[in-house]
Structure 1
Amino acid sequence: MNIPSLNPEVGSMVRVYGSHVNDLNDFYLYSSWSHHKLLQLDQQLAEAYSQSSSYKIYLFLFKINIISFIDRSSTTASEEFNICDYCAYQSENEVWYRGLIRERDSNGNAIVFKIDDGDVQHIPIRLLRPLEEWMFEVPRLAIHCSLADLVKPINDWSSEVISQFGSQLTKSFLYGKFINYNKSTDILSVEIKEKESNISFNKVFEPYQKEQSTFPMNDKLVYKHIPMVKLDPNTSYKIHLLYCINPSHFYVYLRKKSKHII
C-alpha cells in the first residue's frame, strides 16, 4: 500500500506554514488543513500505540543509553521492516510521526523519511512500529515544493541563503499560490508571499540564483552520458533493494552483477 501526496489544486492560493527546508527548490509546506491534521494525527497515533507499554519502557531505556533491554515481541516486529516499508515512531519530544524506510544499515538502524514533515532521520529499527490500515488513508501532510521560476545556482544555494529562506517560512501569515505540478518529481512549484505584501519570496531570492561558478567547469565532464544497464524484460533477476524514495521510485542492484538500476 502507498500513501499518496497531498497536492493542492494548481492555481489555488492557500495559507501555508513552513516545515522542513533542504533548499529553495526542495522544501515542505503545510496547508491550513494539513497543519491542523498534523496535531490531530499525533494524538491518534499516540492512542493507537498507547497499549504498547514495553515500547515506552524501551524508549526510556534507550534515551539513557541502556541497550540491554530486549522486548522479544517488538524485536520480531522490527526485523520484518524492509526498505520502502512505511512505519511509525515516536521522537524524543514524544511526537509521533509516520515514516518511509529509505535505507537500513548493519547496526540495526534505518534512514527514515518523515512523510508528514519532510525531514530524514536515523532511527533504531527497534523503535519502529508498523502502520495500521487506517493510517494509510491519511495523505502525506507535508507538501513537497520548489519556489517557482527559481533555478538552483551552479554551486548550489549557499547555507546562508537557505537559512534566510527557512527563517522567512516561520512568519505568521504566509500564502502560497501553486503554479505547477511536476509529476515525475512529485513537487509543486509555488509562489509565497506574506499576507499584506506585494513582493513574493520568489522575487526576494531571485538575485541569488545568478551566482556564478567559483570553479572551472569542463563541459565534457558535466554532460558526459553514463548509460543505464539494459535488462531483458522477459528475464527474472535476483535483486536487492538499495534505496527508496517512494514505493514507485526506488533503486536496486543485481545480486550477481552488482550494477545499479532505477
Structure 2
Amino acid sequence: MEVYISHINNPLSFYIQFVEDKNLIIQLEEELNESVVNTHHESGLDELRVGDLILAENAADSFYYRAVIKALKSGNSYEVEFIDYGNTAVVSSSKICGIQRKLLTFPRLSVHCFLSKVKTPDESWTDEATSYFLSKINGKPVTCKFTEQHGEQWEVDIICDGKSLSYDLQQRKGKTGLQNKAVHNWESMPKQIQVTNDNPQDGMSTDGLGDQREDCAAKIKSSSETHLAIPPQDLNSEQVERAEIMNISVGGEFYVQLVRNL
C-alpha cells in the first residue's frame, strides 16, 4: 500500500500515514482547529491522566492536533504524542483543550513501524544510517509491505523505486557497520522530516509534511469518558501497503501512515 512517512526516529522506529487518507486528515485538522477557536481555547478538562485523548497545540505552527497524554511533567505540563503523526512534545496545560466526541470517530492516522530484518537487541543507529534511510524515503510516497505485528508496532518492508529498503540497509550495514556506533549529533539530519532521539520534541515537524498530515491508521471509538484506549489499525501479515514513514527512534522503532488514508 502507498504511504507517507510522517515521523522518523530511525529505521527501527518510524510512523506512516496512508496516502489515501490525505483528504480525511485535512478535513480533520480544519474541524478540530475550528472547534478550538469556537470554544475560545477553553479546555473544560479536569485532572488529566496518562492515556487521556486531548487536543494539544503544536509549537511549530500554533495549530492544534489530536494527542494522547504519555506522561505527567513538572510545571503543570505534559508529554503528549500527536497520534496522527507519531511525534511527541512537552506541552503546558494552557495549550491543551478537550476534544469533541465527533472528532474521536476518526481513526488514528499513523501506524508505528520498524523495518524488517534490521532489528537487533539494543541496536543504535548512526547519523549516517538514519540519513541514508531518510534520503530514500523523504518527501515522497513509498510502498509499504506489512509483515507481522509486534504489540503496537508493525514490522514492515519499505519498497523504494522497486527495491526493498530492508535488504538495502542490510547490505550497507554489513559493508559499513552503519548501526554499530553511538548516535550523537542529530542536527545534520534532513529537515523535511523531524528526526528524534527518543526524546520529546518541542513541536511537530511541518517541513515537507503538508499532505502527509492526512493518513489514517487505527480507529478511535467514541466514549463518554475522556480516558480512551486507541485500538490498532486492522492490518494483516503479508499485506502490502503504500505508506509514508513518519517517525523513527534511535531504538529502531518507527511509525508509518498508509497512503490510502491520506
In the superposition, the TM-score normalised over structure 2's length comes to: 0.62
- Aligned-residue Cα RMSD (Å) equals 2.7
- Alignment of structure 1 residues 33-182 onto 2, 5 Å: 33-53=20-40, 55=41, 74=43, 77-92=44-59, 93-152=61-120, 154-182=122-150
Aligned-partner residue type, residue 83 of structure 1 = V
SS of the residue aligned with 1:50?
Answer: helix
Whole-angstrom CA distance in 2 between matches of 1:135 and 1:24 = 31
Higher relative contact order (CA 8 A, sep 6+): 2
* 1:25 and 2:12 are equivalent in the alignment: yes
Answer whether contact 1:152 1:209 (CA < 8 A) is retained. Answer: no
Q: Deviations over 1:123-148 (max 9, x none)?
A: 01111011111222212101111112
* Counterpart AA for 1:104: L
Structure 2 counterpart of 1:16, one-letter code: V
Cα gap change, 1:132 to 1:160, in 2 (>3 Å):
same
Residues 177-227 of structure 1: CA deviation (Å, up to 9, x unaligned)? 112222x2x112211123xx3321112211355548679xxxxxxxxxxxx
Structure with higher helix content: 1
Between the two proteins, the alignment pairs up a number of residues equal to 182
Letter in 2 for 1:87: I
Secondary structure in structure 1 of the residue aligned to 2:38:
coil
8 Å CA contact 2:70, 2:81 repeated in 1: yes
Higher Rg: 1
Aligned pair 1:206/2:163, yes or no? no
Structure 1 ranges of 4+ moved more than 3 A: 152-155, 207-215
- Please say if residues 124 and 181 of structure 2, whose CA atoms lie closer than 8 Å, have aligned partners that are also in contact: no
Provide Cα deviations, 1:14-65, integer angstroms capped at 9, x if missing partner: 1111111112111001111333322221101012222133x3xxxxxxxxxx
